[in-house]
Copies of this chain bind each other. A is one copy, B any other.
Amino acid sequence: MRLFDGGRVPNARRVRVFLAEKGINVPMVPTDLGRMDHKSAEFTARNPLQRVPVLELDDGVHLTESVAICRYFEELQPEPPLFGTGARERAFVEMWNRRVELELYLAVQAAFRHTHPAMAEREVPQVPAWGEANRPRALAMMALIDQQLADKTYLVGENFSIADITLLCTVDFLKPAKLAMPENLEHLRRWHQLVSSRPSAAA
C-alpha cells in the first residue's frame, strides 16, 4: 500500500492528519502539483480526475477521495474512532463533516481558485464573480460553526472526529484564499487553538 500525497493542498493534509491521529504509517509518494505531476499520463491512470490524494492498494487498485481513504483506514483500524461511535454519533459526524465540506470548504476553495492570480492558468475558466460570491457564504458558515462550538469542545461534542480535521484543514486554507476568521468568533478561535495544538496538526 502507498499514498500519493500532494503536499500542502487541504485534502492531502486531511488524510495525513487522520493517519497521524490513528498512528498509522503509510509509505508516501510525493506528487509535485507545482510541476503538474497530477496531470501526467501516469498519474491520470491512477485517478482520471487528476487529483490527490490517491491510495494505491496492494493489488494495484486505486482508491481516491480523501474521505473514502480515511473511511477505509477507519475500517482497517477502528481505534481511536474518528467517524464517531454508535449510530447516532456516526450520523452527526457525517452531518458536520459534510456541512463543513459543502458549505465552508467548497466556498473557500471557490474563492481561492476563482480570484487568486496564481490560479488563472489552472482554473479555466476562472470566474471571479463566482469566487467573490463565495466570500460571504464562507463568513456566514463560520458564524454558524461558531454557534455550534459555543457549548462543545469539538464539532460533534466531546469527541474529536474527522469533522474537526476537515474544519482544521479548511480554516488553515483561509489565508491563501484571502479570507480570515472574524475576530468575534470566539468559540471557533478557541477551537482552532485547541486542535492546532494536537501533534497531528503538524502532519
Q: A-side interface residues toward B, CB under 8 Å?
A: 48-49, 57, 63-65, 67-69, 71-72, 75-76, 87-88, 90-92, 94-95, 98-99, 102-103, 106, 125, 127, 129-130, 133, 144
B residues less than 8 Å from A130 (CB atoms): 127, 129-130
Q: List 8 A-B contacts (CB under 8 A).
A: A49-B99, A64-B99, A67-B98, A68-B91, A72-B87, A72-B88, A127-B133, A129-B129
Distance from A173 Cβ to chain B, minimum over Cβ atoms (Å)? 17
Please, how many angstroms separate the alpha-carbon atoms of A183 and B117 in the complex? 38
Contact A87 B95 (CB under 8 A): no
Please, how many angstroms separate the alpha-carbon atoms of A82 and B132 in the complex? 38
Q: Which residue of B lies closest to A133 (CB)?
A: B125
B residues less than 8 Å from A103 (CB atoms): 49
Contact A144 B48 (CB under 8 A): yes
- Set B67, B91, B129: member contacting A69, Cβ < 8 A: B91
Please, how many angstroms separate the alpha-carbon atoms of A144 and B48 in the complex? 8
Contact B91 A72 (CB under 8 A): yes
Contact B127 A65 (CB under 8 A): no
Please judge, given known A-B contacts A48-B144, A75-B87, A87-B72, whether A95 and B127 are in contact too, CB under 8 Å.
Answer: no
B residues less than 8 Å from A129 (CB atoms): 125, 127, 129-130
